[in-house]
Amino acid sequence: MKILITGGAGFIGSHVVRLLVNKYPEYNILNLDKLTYAGNLENLRDVENKPNYSFVRGDITEAGFINNLFAKEAFDGVIHLAAESHVDRSLENPNAFVVTNIIGTVNLLQAALKTWNGNPAKRFYHISTDEVYGSIEDGGLFTEHTSIDPQSPYSASKAGSDHFVSAFHNSYKLPVLISRCSNNYGPNHFPEKLIPLMIHNILENKPLPVYGKGENVRDWLYVEDHAKAIDAIFHKGVTGEVYNIGGNNEWKNIDLVHLLCSIMDQKLGRDQGTAAKLITYVKDRPGHDLRYAIDSSKLQSELGWSPSLTFEEGLDKTVAWYLNNKEWLDHVTSGQYLEYYKQMYTNR
């Protein structure tokens, strides 16, 4: 099996690469990543020398490059994670999200279509998000049949890419899979997203910006559990189907931030309440989705996946990782290592 993983240097992608490289020594895993601000090859130091792993720096928005890569490599499957991924950035610059998330995805679909010649054994697996469903009222859960109703430029671009993936299945019988996961957290998460940003700011003694009243609800899943779900869906999922991924783990932002502050105080040997003093309510995000909550019973009953960690265990592991990897935080916030890796891989 030769598998292309796009976005493998990013947060979730690096955990997927590590899992597959270690679990399937007989596969060839090619990681294709542009190395934007969010991509970091340091995330993959422990697998970079394995014989079944290779890396190509490249941009999914360049159709010519993508077509050549597919013609040369004869992939058996694609796991597509490359994306612009941050809602706040999408509010500032929606065009970048359209180009990477929609056009980049269509380039990959086209290349797969051209080189796979209708072979039903191939698999094009698109990693999407529960945010395409929009916001849901208290008590409700997103199922795979919930209407797509994206509310931010980020989720609109992901919904657009989902529609193209489904359209390629419907129109050309391309063997596709889609999964939609809730908010992930864990090691290697770029400190622009809520949990790593708070950890970073507590370490730097900076304010902890909570948007609005902090009452928005997110459903959190440990990133390694997402990677295991991706492995299960890639191998056992039925093509043409959508699978929701989530761990029934809803938290109001403000409650989550308090829990995180308490774990940080305990791990740093500080008095309880020290980090919480940094909490600062700031202007709300425009159009801020109030609540996400996902029903993943289809994945659990049909493919036998379930989350392995409780939130408290996962958060404890996450904080411990950040405290042991302060250098990683310095590197991604300074961009210094990114430049080093970009220069190393200017050769494609």
87 near ligand TYD, rule: CB under 6 A? yes
Buried b (16+ CB within 10 A) or exposed e, 273-306: eebbebbeeeeeeeeebebbbbbbebbbeebebe
Smallest distance from ligand TYD to CB 131, Å: 6
Q: What does 322 bind: ligand NAD, ligand TYD, none (CB cut-off 5 to 8 Å by kind)?
A: none
Q: Which does 87 bind (CB under 5 to 8 A by kind): ligand NAD, ligand TYD, none?
A: ligand TYD
Give every CB contact of residue 58 below 8 A, 6+ residues apart in sequence. 32, 33, 34, 65, 66, 69, 348
* b/e 108-117 (16+ beta carbons within 10 angstroms → b): bbbbbbebbe
Using CB under 6 A, pick the residue from 210, 229, 263, 338 that binds ligand TYD. 210
Active-site residue (options: 84, 131, 224, 250): 131
* By CB under 6 A, residue 209 contacts ligand TYD: yes
Residue 183 in the binding site for ligand TYD (CB under 6 A): yes
Report the distance separating Cα 33 and Cα 8, nearest Å.
Answer: 6
Q: Which is nearer to ligand NAD, 278 or 328 (CB)?
A: 328
- The per-residue DSSP string of 155-166 comes to HHHHHHHHHHHH
Using CB under 6 A as the binding rule, whether residue 123 contacts ligand TYD is answered as: no
33, interface contact from ligand NAD, ligand TYD, none, CB < 5-8 Å by kind: ligand NAD
Which one is catalytic: 33, 130, 224, 231?
Answer: 130
9 counts as binding ligand NAD under rule CB under 6 A: yes
- Based on the shown chain and the rule CB under 6 A, indicate whether residue 34 belongs to the binding site for ligand NAD: yes
Active site residue 130: yes
In the complex, the smallest distance separating the C-beta of residue 47 from ligand TYD, rounded to whole angstroms, is: 26
The region of 58-66, 110-118, 140-148, 289-297 touching ligand NAD under the rule CB under 6 A is 58-66
DSSP 8-state assignment for residue 291: B
Backbone angles phi, psi at 126, to 5 degrees: -100, 125
154 is catalytic: yes
Catalytic site residue 62?
A: no
**Nearest-angstrom CA–CA distance, 264 and 319:** 7
Catalytic residue numbers, as ranges: 130-131, 154
